[in-house]
Amino acid sequence: MREGGLDKPIRHNLDWESEAFYDEAALDAEMRRVFDVCHSCRRCFNLCDSFPQLFDLIDNSETGELDSVDSKGFQKVNDACTLCDMCFMVSCPYVPPHEFNIDFPKLVLRSRAIDFKKGKVGPIKRLLAKTDFHGKMGSKFSGLSNWAISHKNKFTRTLLEWIAGVHKDAHLPKYAPQTLMELGKESLPLNEEAPGFGQKVVLYATCYGNFNDPNIGLALRAVLALNGIETQIAYPKCCGMPLLEEGNLAQVAQNAKDVSKEMLPWIQKEYKIIALVPSCALMLKHEWPLLLPKDKDIKLLSQETYDLSEYIVELAKEKGLVPGLQPIEGGVSIHLPCHARAQNIGHKAAEMLRMIPDTEIHLVERCSGHGGSWGVMKDNFPVALKQGKPVVRQMIKKKSAYIVSECPLAGEHILQGMEIEGVHYDKAPNPIEIIAISYGLLESKND
């Protein structure tokens, strides 16, 4: 047996529709097998809070080994996992095809699926995962919504913490008064002289890009139109990442089927699909096919879906971009989020920004600590801030004109960490907004 593996990690399909998947005794046995391997290795001790929780559980047991650990303690280990996939993609030498067959995130997901099926996920937590409902209501009443969720509003945020467990000090994403679907109805004039003229894409708006920050999609549309590329916008519903986090696999699968049904006609008309947020691109490209491996539409959609920066970089390499990118004064510090890294496509956002001439690009790969909805919860928020401190320190040290992240939640979390240290930035834009500024399509904050 090999000590460790250097092969490309492979993922097994999730047999979530079988009864065996929900066998609690089998899950406990598998957890003990996997946790024992983790205990003997400990390479992931600094990735997230799951592994310190596990190792403390073992070290403080009677024998100092897993045999004297009560399985009830595993819940804290599972709860601390953000499903970022970094242990699987980056650190673990025992992932498939190695004989040990370790996939820690999917083991946690199985545990959460069992808890969900048993009714352990309460109505408030289920409601929090319904991003489309919140998005529609939040955008329709954006003034009232943004007032209520502001961390400066002590009354409503204290109430929200008491009812829903959302930490009263955690910054929450604001809602836009108009959605991307509403703002993007009109076609943009295309540059017919551009090398990319003739290509067509559909922007999968994502719940965040549609309801919270349409500027991501608007900036991308402007950049693509300048480069001759036709854009359409579609948003059937959420990709289901928040549902995945709580173990509601059946609803994730249903969302996948609904979204693919609307996207398939566009693919048949030779449109490529661009997801505006890395977590959503990860769902379409990797998570959905693991849940529905026999669904041909899901497989086709996964093959035709691009991460935002992935598409721009490929366009630049294959066709070339329209000239005219101008230097960004003061440089850019870019955070590369976990779900961008988990797509295994390389540092595409940094590669995209390095196309801007005479501009210093500082790349930060460390985890921001946010972890989707995980980082805003009362029990997790202090840990999330602690985990994000290395990123915050690097951002403060570099003093770039712009702090950017492909993940809008991570970007906001980093800015909050910087604010605590006395350094204030108004916004952490998406990297595509920096490209739009460089092209002169958006106003620079330095103007």
Q: Is residue 175 part of a domain?
A: no
Report pLDDT digits (tens) over 156-191.
Answer: 999 999 999 999 999 999 999 999 999 999 989 999
The answer to whether residue 390 scores a pLDDT higher than 50 is yes
Residues 300 and 360 in one domain: no
Instruction: Pick the last residue of a domain from 164, 196, 228.
Output: 164
Q: What is the domain extent for residue 93?
A: 19-117
Report pLDDT digits (tens) over 287-338.
Answer: 999 999 999 999 999 999 999 999 999 999 999 999 999 999 999 999 999 9
Q: How sure is the predictor about 284, in pLDDT bands with cuts at 50, 70 and 90?
A: very high
Q: What is the mean pLDDT of residues 251-265?
A: 97
The pLDDT score that the predictor gives to residue 5 is 62
The backbone torsions φ and ψ at residue 80, rounded to the nearest 5 degrees and listed phi first, read -80, -10
The backbone torsions φ and ψ at residue 105, rounded to the nearest 5 degrees and listed phi first, read -60, -40
Report pLDDT digits (tens) over 207-247.
Answer: 999 999 999 999 999 999 999 999 999 999 999 999 999 99
Q: Please choose, from the candidates 325, 330, 374, 296, the residue with its C-alpha nearest in 3D space to the C-alpha of residue 48.
A: 374
263 vs 281: CA distance, rounded Å: 14
Q: Is residue 237 part of a domain?
A: yes
The pLDDT score that the predictor gives to residue 46 is 82
The pLDDT score that the predictor gives to residue 115 is 96
Give me the chain's average pLDDT, please: 94
The answer to whether residue 1 scores a pLDDT higher than 70 is no
Q: Is residue 312 part of a domain?
A: yes
| Structure token digits, residue 445 | 């904050």
The pLDDT score that the predictor gives to residue 391 is 95
Report pLDDT digits (tens) over 41-62.
Answer: 998 888 888 999 999 999 999 9
Q: How sure is the predictor about 2, in pLDDT bands with cuts at 50, 70 and 90?
A: low
Percent of the chain with pLDDT over 90: 88
The pLDDT score that the predictor gives to residue 447 is 47
Residues 216 and 244 in one domain: yes
158 to 13, 167, 169, 370, 395: CA distances (angstroms): 42, 8, 9, 20, 30
Residues 156 and 237 in one domain: no
Residues 186 and 298 in one domain: yes
Could you give the number of structural domains in the chain? Answer: 4
Q: How sure is the predictor about 8, in pLDDT bands with cuts at 50, 70 and 90?
A: confident
Instruction: Pick the last residue of a domain from 317, 335, 351.
Output: 317
Residues 188 and 278 in one domain: yes
Q: How sure is the predictor about 68, in pLDDT bands with cuts at 50, 70 and 90?
A: very high
Residues 29 and 146 in one domain: no
* Position with higher pLDDT, 376 vs 3: 376
The answer to whether residue 440 scores a pLDDT higher than 50 is yes
Q: What is the mean pLDDT of residues 71-87?
A: 92
Q: What is the mean pLDDT of residues 382-387?
A: 93
3 to 6, 37, 98, 109, 235: CA distances (angstroms): 10, 12, 9, 27, 46
Please say whether the beta carbons of 232 and 221 come within 8 A: no
The pLDDT score that the predictor gives to residue 445 is 66
Residues 219 and 250 in one domain: yes
From 1-5, 7-11, 200-204, 264-268, the region with the lowest mean pLDDT: 1-5
The answer to whether residue 129 scores a pLDDT higher than 80 is yes
The answer to whether residue 276 scores a pLDDT higher than 50 is yes
Q: Please choose, from the candidates 241, 296, 259, the residue with its C-alpha nearest in 3D space to the C-alpha of residue 407.
A: 241
Q: Is residue 411 part of a domain?
A: yes
Residues 44 and 130 in one domain: no
Half-sphere exposure of 95 (CA within 13 A, CB side): 23
Q: What is the mean pLDDT of residues 83-92?
A: 88
